[in-house]
Chain A
Amino acid sequence: DGGITQSPKYLFRKEGQNVTLSCEQNLNHDAMYWYRQDPGQGLRLIYYSQIVNDFQKGDIAEGYSVSREKKESFPLTVTSAQKNPTAFYLCASSIGPRTGGYTFGSGTRLTVV
């Protein structure tokens, strides 16, 4: 079945460490997105990519980095510069601009210990 796989489901990080969240899709979608969700709040866009080897900052990109070397993969690195990384991270994909269709992964819950 086609879909988005995020791993791991739970992740613990020590302060000052970088950590990478995985997002893989087998839907052949061109566009991919990373959202952050804090408790009791909505989702905010971190980064998005419309095509391989290209990505743009979203609303809260500071302290994060991404890469898009393959169409299927859009990993997110939470760097030590991110001052408050504890959150729930959701990855999504869409066929492309103006399609209005999105598929979401099941999320990764990151906790800084």
Chain B
Amino acid sequence: AQKVTQAQTEISVVEKEDVTLDCVYETRDTTYYLFWYKQPPSGELVFLIRRNSFDEQNEISGRYSWNFQKSTSSFNFTITASQVVDSAVYFCALSNIKAAGNKLTFGGGTRVLVKP
């Protein structure tokens, strides 16, 4: 069985502050993908990043950065200099590469509210 935990249910910040979203996962498999998705109020899921379990390099994309640490089974996401448009629910997810069905297991999500 696999599990993804996002302990923070809601984070509120003032614009331009940095915000870090925690994601801890559990899996017995050695090969897996980790994902982050953004869900704005309209409801659709916006893909942000996919990470292969073999690649522990941190990644930066504009104001977004991700810290992947296999030793602690964590895949944390930081938004630097937050903006109001970053207000959304963010989901961390896991899929096992070799498992049948290619299914995604989601965390419970973290709601980010950025105030002007």
Contact = CB atoms under 8 A, between A and B. Distances in A.
Interface of A: 31, 33, 35, 40-45, 48, 50, 56, 58, 88, 90, 92, 94, 96-102, 104-107, 109
Contacts of B106: 35, 42-44
B50 interface: yes
Given A50-B100, A94-B102, A101 B42 contact: no
Interface stretch (B64-72, B78-86, B90-98): B90-98
B100 A97 contact: yes
Interface residues of B, number: 29
Contact of A106 (B42, B99, B103): B42
A40 B101 contact: no
B52 A41 contact: no
Contact of A96 (B9, B50, B102, B103): B102
22 contacts: A33-B103, A33-B104, A35-B106, A40-B9, A41-B108, A42-B4, A42-B91, A43-B104, A43-B106, A45-B104, A50-B100, A50-B101, A90-B45, A94-B102, A96-B102, A97-B100, A99-B102, A100-B33, A102-B35, A104-B44, A105-B44, A109-B43
